[in-house]
C-alpha cells in the first residue's frame, strides 16, 4: 500500500516568468500545499534564479516535504534583458520555439512524475497547447493573472474588430464610447481598451493576435481560476462563465492566503532586492499622510515623465514613498540625480526605494493613497487595504483596470494618457485631501467586501474549497483500486 503522501493529489503549476504572475501563483501554490496537495512549481530558469536569490521561498516551502521547484529554459541567453515592455515579441517567439517543445516532451516523458492529478497553467502560456492536443492525459485548469473586467474586454476584441469598432482612428477617436462589450455599455472609451488595441491593423498585429488568441484558448481548458471575487466583478465573471462554465473566482489570493496562515509570515516572492527601510520611515509619518507611488515590475517611463511625476509630487506638498526600480527610466540604469530645484522638497517629504515590501506598505496606517500603474495585483492589494488610487496605466490590462477603479468602483482617479506636473499635483491633493472622505468611504466598503469574500462563508473561500475538493476527486478517480 503506498504511503499517505503519494495518495494526496499532485498538481503541476506552471507560472509565466513575470513578477506578478510568480507572486500570485506562489501564493496559490502555498494555499494548495496547506490543503495537503503536492505541488510541483515550474517556471523559467532565469526567473527561478532571481526568485531564489531575492526571496526566502526555498526556506518557506521546505515545510512542505512534497513541494518541489522545477525549471525550464526560455531559450534566451542569460544576458537577455527579458523586459515585457520592450522584448515581448522576442520572448514569445523563444517560448514557442524552445519552451513549448521542451515542456511537451517533459509531459509526455513523465518528467514531473507519473502521478499528476492536473495541471494549473498560467494563462500566459495557453499557447503551449494546441486545440487538438490529445497527449495530455490530465485536466488542465487555466489561471488568469488579470481581472475579469480586462479579461472579458480582451475576449470581446474579435467582435469589436468584426463590428468595425476597431481599429481606433487616431487621437481624435480615443474618447469614442464603445457599446459592444456586453455588460460594459457606455463605459469604455477607445482609450480604455487594453494598450495593444492601439494599432492600425488589429487583424495582423502579432502582439494583439497573440494575447487575444491566448485568452480565447484559455477558455477552452477544463476550468478557469481567477484572482477576483464576486462582489467586485460578479456580473463579468458570469459573462466569462458563458465561455467556460467551470470558473473558480478565489481572489484576492494574497488575502485568502493570509487567512490560512496562523501567524503573520512574510509571503514575499520578490525577483528584486526588497528595501524594508521604508517601513521605518513610514513609522515616523502621521496616519494617512503618505502617498505610495509604484508602477509595478514592467512599466518603463521617459526621463521627462519621471520629472513630471517628481515635480508633481513635490509641488503637492504631500509626503511620498516612491519605488524607483533600477530599470524604471529609459536609458538610465539606476543612476538618477535629484534636480536641484527638487532637492529640498524631496528631502523634507520624499523617500525612495528600488523595491518595496508592497503588501506591508499598503497595509501601513501612514499610507493614505496609492499612485499606481493599475497592475491587477497592485489593484487588488490596494482594494484589500482600503487605499484610494490614482491610476497611470501603462500597458496591457491596466487601461481597463484604471477605468473600473475610477468609473465603476469609485476607488480613485484615472490619470490615463496624461503626465504633467499640474495634473499630478491636483490628483494627489484630490485623493489625499479634497475628495478623501468620498474615496475613503467606497474604499473602506470594498475592502470589507474583499475581506468577507476570503473569510468563512465568503464566495472566494467557498470556491477555493470547491477547487480543492474537485482536485481530490480527480485524484481518487486515478487511484488504481478505484472502480469508477
Ligand atoms: C503585470 C502587468 O503589468 C499587469 O498589468 C498585470 O495585471 C499583471 O502582470 P505588474 O506590472 O508586475 O504585472 O503589476 P502588478 O500586477 O501590480 O504586480 C506587481 C507585484 O509586485 C505586486 O504583487 C506587488 O505587491 C509587487 N511589488 C511591486 C512589490 O512587491 N514591491 C514593489 O516595490 C512593487
The CATH code of the domain that includes 444 is 3.40.50.2000
Are 133 and 50 part of one and the same domain?
yes
Domain-embedded: residue 105:
yes
Summarised one tens digit per residue, pLDDT across range 232-248 is 999 999 999 999 999 99
CA of residue 377 to ligand 1 center, whole Å: 6
Are 446 and 463 part of one and the same domain?
no
Are 471 and 437 part of one and the same domain?
no
**Residue 328 sits in which domain range?**
277-450
Are 242 and 300 part of one and the same domain?
no
Which of 68-72, 79-83, 143-147 shows the lowest mean pLDDT across its residues? 79-83
Instruction: Give the count of alpha carbons within 13 A of 280, CB side only.
Output: 4
Q: Is 21 a catalytic residue?
A: yes
Are 196 and 49 part of one and the same domain?
yes
Whether 252 is in the pocket of ligand 1, judged by its Cβ within 6 Å, is: no
Domain-embedded: residue 484:
no
- 41: cell is 512549481
The whole-model pTM stands at 0.96
Instruction: Put residue 185 in one of left, alpha, beta given phi > 0 → left and psi -120 to 50 → alpha.
Output: beta
Domain-embedded: residue 213:
yes
Largest CA distance in the chain: 77
119: helix, strand or coil: strand
CA of residue 378 to ligand 1 center, whole Å: 6
Whether 398 is in the pocket of ligand 1, judged by its Cβ within 6 Å, is: yes
- pLDDT band at 84, cuts 50/70/90? confident
What total of structural domains would you count in the chain? 2
Are 318 and 262 part of one and the same domain?
no
CA dist 227 and 92 (Å) reads 24
Summarised one tens digit per residue, pLDDT across range 433-465 is 999 999 999 999 999 999 999 999 999 999 999
Domain-embedded: residue 181:
yes
Summarised one tens digit per residue, pLDDT across range 17-59 is 998 999 999 999 999 999 999 999 999 999 999 999 988 999 9
pLDDT given for residue 7 in this prediction? 80
Whether 385 is in the pocket of ligand 1, judged by its Cβ within 6 Å, is: no
Are 248 and 288 part of one and the same domain?
no
With b meaning 16 or more CB within 10 Å and e meaning fewer, what string describes 263-297?
A: eeeebbbbbbebeeebbebbeebeebbbbbbbbbb
Are 152 and 221 part of one and the same domain?
yes
> Is the predicted pLDDT of residue 142 greater than 60, yes or no?
yes
Cβ count within 10 A of residue 18: 22
- pLDDT band at 1, cuts 50/70/90? very low
Are 197 and 345 part of one and the same domain?
no
Domain-embedded: residue 272:
no
Residue 452 buriedness (CB in 10 A; 0-12 / 13-18 / 19+): middle
Q: Whose CA is nearest to atom 25 of ligand 1?
A: 358
Are 200 and 305 part of one and the same domain?
no
> Is the predicted pLDDT of residue 482 greater than 70, yes or no?
no
Proportion of the chain above pLDDT 70, given as a percent = 97
Are 24 and 119 part of one and the same domain?
yes
Q: Average the pLDDT over 160-184 and give the result.
A: 96
Are 427 and 470 part of one and the same domain?
no
Q: Average the pLDDT over 317-325 and give the result.
A: 97
Domain-embedded: residue 483:
no
Domain-embedded: residue 353:
yes
Strand partners, 367: 290
Q: Is 192 a catalytic residue?
A: no
Q: Average the pLDDT over 471-476 and give the result.
A: 96
Amino acid at each position: 500500500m503506498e504511503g499517505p503522501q503519494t495518495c494526496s493529489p499532485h498538481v503541476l503549476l506552471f507560472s509565466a516568468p513575470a513578477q506578478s504572475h510568480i507572486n500570485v501563483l506562489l501564493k496559490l501554490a502555498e494555499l494548495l500545499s496547506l490543503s495537503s496537495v503536492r505541488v510541483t512549481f515550474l517556471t523559467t530558469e532565469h526567473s527561478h534564479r532571481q526568485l531564489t536569490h531575492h526571496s526566502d521561498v526555498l526556506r518557506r516551502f521546505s515545510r512542505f516535504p512534497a513541494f518541489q521547484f522545477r525549471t525550464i529554459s526560455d531559450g534566451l541567453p542569460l544576458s537577455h534583458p527579458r523586459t515585457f515592455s520592450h522584448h515581448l515579441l522576442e520572448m514569445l517567439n523563444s517560448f514557442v520555439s524552445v519552451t513549448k517543445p521542451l515542456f511537451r516532451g517533459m509531459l509526455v516523458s513523465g518528467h514531473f512524475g507519473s502521478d499528476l492529478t492536473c495541471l494549473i497553467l498560467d494563462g500566459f502560456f495557453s499557447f503551449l497547447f494546441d486545440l487538438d492536443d490529445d497527449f495530455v492525459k490530465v485536466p488542465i485548469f487555466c489561471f488568469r493573472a488579470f481581472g475579469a473586467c480586462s479579461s472579458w474586454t480582451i475576449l470581446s476584441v474579435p467582435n469589436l474588430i468584426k463590428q468595425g469598432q476597431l481599429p481606433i482612428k487616431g487621437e481624435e477617436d480615443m474618447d469614442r464610447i464603445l457599446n459592444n462589450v456586453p455588460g460594459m455599455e457606455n463605459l469604455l472609451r477607445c482609450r480604455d481598451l487594453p494598450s495593444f488595441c492601439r494599432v492600425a491593423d488589429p487583424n495582423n498585429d502579432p502582439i494583439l493576435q497573440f494575447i487575444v488568441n491566448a485568452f480565447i484558448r484559455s477558455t477552452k481548458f477544463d476550468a478557469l481560476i481567477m484572482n477576483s471575487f464576486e462582489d467586485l466583478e460578479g456580473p463579468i465573471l458570469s459573462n466569462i462563465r458563458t465561455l467556460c462554465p467551470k470558473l473558480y473566482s478565489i481572489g484576492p489570493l494574497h488575502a485568502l492566503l493570509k487567512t490560512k496562515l496562523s501567524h503573520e509570515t512574510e509571503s514575499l516572492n520578490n525577483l528584486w532586492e526588497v528595501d524594508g527601510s521604508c517601513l521605518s520611515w513610514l513609522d515616523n509619518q502621521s496616519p494617512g499622510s503618505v502617498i505610495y507611488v509604484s508602477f509595478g515590475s514592467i512599466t518603463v517611463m521617459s526621463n521627462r515623465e519621471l520629472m513630471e511625476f517628481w515635480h508633481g509630487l513635490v509641488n503637492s506638498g504631500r509626503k511620498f514613498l516612491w519605488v524607483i526600480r533600477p530599470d524604471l527610466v529609459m536609458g538610465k540604469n539606476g543612476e538618477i540625480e535629484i534636480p536641484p530645484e527638487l532637492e529640498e522638497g524631496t528631502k523634507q517629504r520624499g523617500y525612495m526605494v528600488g523595491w518595496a515590501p508592497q503588501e506591508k506598505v499598503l497595509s501601513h496606517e501612514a499610507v493614505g493613497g496609492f499612485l499606481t500603474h493599475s497592475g491587477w495585483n497592485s489593484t487588488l492589494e490596494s482594494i484589500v487595504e482600503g487605499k484610494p488610487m490614482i491610476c497611470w496605466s501603462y500597458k496591457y490590462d491596466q487601461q481597463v483596470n484604471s477605468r473600473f477603479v475610477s468609473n465603476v468602483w469609485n476607488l480613485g482617479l484615472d490619470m490615463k494618457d496624461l503626465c504633467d506636473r499640474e495634473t499630478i499635483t491636483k490628483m494627489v491633493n484630490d485623493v489625499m485631501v479634497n475628495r478623501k472622505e468620498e474615496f475613503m468611504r467606497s474604499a473602506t466598503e470594498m475592502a470589507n467586501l474583499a475581506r468577507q469574500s476570503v473569510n468563512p462563508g465568503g464566495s472566494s473561500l467557498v470556491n477555493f474549497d470547491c477547487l480543492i475538493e474537485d482536485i481530490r476527486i480527480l485524484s481518487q478517480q486515478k487511484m488504481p483500486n478505484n472502480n469508477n
